[in-house]
Amino acid sequence: MATKPRFSTDEQPTVTASDNALETARRQLARAADCLEIEPGIRERLAYPDAVHEVTVPVERDDGSVDVFTGYRAQHDSIRGPYKGGLRYHPEVGRDECVGLAMWMTWKCAVMDLPFGGAKGGIVVDPKSLSDDETERLTRRFTQEIRDVIGPNTDIPAPDMGTDPETMAWLMDAYSMQEGETIPGVVTGKPPAVGGSRGREEAPGRSVAIVTRETCDYYDRPLEDVTVAVQGFGSVGANAARLLEEWGATVVAVSDVNGAIYDPDGLDVAAIPSHDEEPEAVTRYAAETDVTRLSNDELLVLDVDVLVPAAVGNVLTADNADDVRADLVVEGANGPTTVDADAILAERGIPVVPDILANAGGVTVSYFEWLQDINRRAWSLERVHDELESEMVTAWNAVREQRERRDVTWRDAAYVVALSRIAEAHDSRGLWP
C-alpha cells in the first residue's frame, strides 16, 4: 500500500457538500491523469462539464398559488456515449454539486466499460414539502424545460435522492407525449410496467456483494471464513448483507439511522426488513431480540474482516480511520471515505474498494434497462443476474490488473481504468472541428 498521503491537507475541501463533490472529482481526475500519459488538452477538457443547463420550473400548488423552483442538468462528458446520471430533488441541490456528481458518473460508467458518459441533475426543493400531485406537476414541467437536452441517445436520467420509479414514469410520459411516441429509453429506473428492468432495485447491493466476494477471494479469505459489518440497511446495505449471508459470510452487524445491532455469532439478516420494506426496522428487531445494540460509530470500528459503509457519505474520516479494525473496506455508499481517511487507511494497509466500482451495479442494470427498452424486449431476472455478474467480475479484474501493475490503491486503479478508456476515446475521435 502507498505510504504517502493522498493529498496535502491544505487542499482538503471542507466548505460545503457541493464544493466537495466537484473538488473531489477534479482531484481524482488529476491523480489518475498523473499515472497516465494523457494529452494536457484532454485532461483540461475533462476538468469541466460539456454543459450545465439551469432552468426555472413554475408549479401550481394545490391551493392554486404558483411557486417557482430552480432545476439543473449538468452534462460532463459524452465521448463514449449518451450522458447518464440521476435526478435528485433536494433543498441543497446546486450547480457545482451537479457538475461534480456528473464527473463521478463519467468515471463510474467508464470503469464499467458502459457506452455512456456522465450527467447529474436535480431541482432545489424539499420533496417532503410537496403533495404527490405537486411532485407530478413539478416533474412534468421540469421535463419540458430540459426536453431539448435529454433523450435516449443524448442524456438518460435515473432516480436519485428524493426521486423514485414513479417520478421516472412521469418523466418518461411527459417526454413521450411531447415527442408523439412512447420512448421508454429516455429514462431508467422506471417501474417494470413501463419498461423498467427486473433486478434494478437490488443491483447496487448485488454488485457490492459480488465485489466483496471477489476481493475476499483475492486475499485468500473465502466468504465462509469472513465476518461482515454493514452500515445502513437500505436498498444497498440490505441487499448486500442478504447476498453475502446467502453466499456463506457471517454478517455480525447492521445498522440504520437510529443505531446498530451486533451479534458476534452472526445475525439472522434475512429476518430483518430493509428500510424500504419497513423504515428503521433494525431498531425494532433489536427490541424484539437479545442482540447487542451499538451506535453507528461503534459499528464502524468493530473487529470484523469486512466493513461495508452503505448509508451516507463521509462516515470514515480522519477522526475514526485510525480506529478501523476491519481488514477490508468495500464502499457501498457514494463517498463514505474522506480524502484524509483514505490516506490513513492506505498507510495502515487496509484496502478500500471504491464506490465507483463496488456500487456500479445500479448504473449497469440501468444500461441493461436501456438495452431492453431500445429492443422492446424484457430480460428475465436470471439473465439480469448473469449479465451483472459477468460485467462486475470483468470490471473488478480490470481494476485488479492496474492495481498490481502500478502498485496503487484500489481507488487509484479504478480511476486509472476509467480515465484511460475516456482519454483513448477522446484521442481517437479528436477535436471537432
Stretch that binds ligand NAD, among 63-71, 272-280, 286-294, 410-418 (CB under 6 A): 272-280
Q: Which three cell numbers stand for residue 339?
A: 480524502
Among positions 276-305, residues that touch ligand NAD (CB under 6 A) are: 276, 280, 296
Report the residue from 20, 106, 231, 337 that binds ligand NAD according to the rule CB under 6 A: 231
Asked whether position 242 contacts ligand NAD by CB under 6 A, the answer is no
Question: 94-126 burial by CB neighbour count: b if 16+ within 10 A, else e?
Answer: bebbbbbbbbbbbbbbbbbebebbbbbbbbbbe
Measured CA distances, 268 to 249, 304, 397 (Å) = 12, 17, 32
Among 7, 69, 104, 233, binds ligand NAD (CB under 6 A): 233
Selected binder of ligand NAD within 138, 236, 300, 352 (CB under 6 A): 236
The stretch among 2-10, 31-39, 162-170, 229-237 that binds ligand NAD (CB under 6 A) is 229-237
Residues 30-89 touching ligand NAD, rule: CB under 6 A, are none
Say how far apart CA 425 and CA 423 lie, in whole Å. Answer: 5
Q: Is 104 helix (H, G, I), strand (E, B) or coil?
A: helix
CA distance 393 to 181: 37
Q: Which of 13, 100, 196, 232 binds ligand NAD (CB under 6 A)?
A: 232
Task: Tell me whether residue 97 or residue 256 sits nearer to ligand NAD (CB atom).
Answer: 256
Q: Over the Cα atoms of the chain, what is R_g? A: 21
222 contacts: CB under 8 Å, gap ≥ 6: 216, 248
Question: What are the grid coordinates assigned to 372, written together?
Answer: 431492453
Neighbour count for residue 83 (Cβ, 10 Å): 30
- The distance of closest approach from Cβ of residue 90 to ligand NAD in the complex, given in angstroms and rounded to an integer, is 11
Q: Which stretch binds ligand NAD (CB under 6 A): 60-68, 123-131, 251-259, 390-398?
A: 251-259
Calpha distance 298→255 (Å, rounded): 10
Rounded-to-integer distance, Cα 18 and Cα 200, Å: 27
Residue whose C-alpha is closest to residue 85's, from 120, 124, 40, 48: 120
Given 84, 108, 120, 190, the catalytic residue: 120
Could you say which of 30, 36, 55, 312 contacts ligand NAD (CB under 6 A)?
A: 312
CA 103 remoteness from chain centre: 12
- 126 and 80 in contact (C-beta within 8 Å)? no
311 binds ligand NAD (CB under 6 A): yes
165's grid cell: 420509479
Q: Which is nearer to ligand NAD, 334 or 372 (CB)?
A: 334
Binding mask 171-210 toward ligand NAD (x if CB under 6 A, else -) reads ---------------------------------x------
Q: Is 113 left (phi over 0), alpha (psi -120 to 50) or beta?
A: left
Q: Which of 139, 197, 212, 255 binds ligand NAD (CB under 6 A)?
A: 255
Burial code (b: 16+ CB inside 10 Å, e: under 16) for 396-432 equals bebbbebbeeeebbbbbbbbbbbbbbbbbbbeeeeee
Select the residue interacting with ligand NAD from 139, 235, 364, 372 (CB under 6 A). Answer: 235
The residue within the footprint of ligand NAD, chosen from 106, 135, 212, 359 (CB under 6 A), is 359
Comparing every residue's Cβ against ligand NAD, the nearest one is 234
Stretch of 112-120, 126-134, 228-236, 389-397 contacting ligand NAD, by CB under 6 A: 228-236
Nearest distance, CB of residue 279 and ligand NAD, angstroms: 7
256 interacts with ligand NAD by CB under 6 A: yes
Q: Phi/psi of residue 230, each to 5°?
A: -120, 120
92 binds ligand NAD per the rule CB under 6 A: no
Nearer to ligand NAD, 370 or 420 (CB): 370
Cell of 19: 464544493
Size of the site for ligand NAD (CB under 6 A): 24
Q: Which stretch binds ligand NAD (CB under 6 A): 19-27, 31-39, 120-128, 311-319?
A: 311-319
Q: Which of 334, 337, 372, 402 binds ligand NAD (CB under 6 A)?
A: 334
Residue 120 is among the residues annotated as catalytic for this protein: yes
**Catalytic site residues?**
120
Q: Name the site residues for ligand NAD (rule: CB under 6 A).
A: 204, 231-237, 255-257, 275-276, 280, 296, 310-313, 332-334, 359, 362
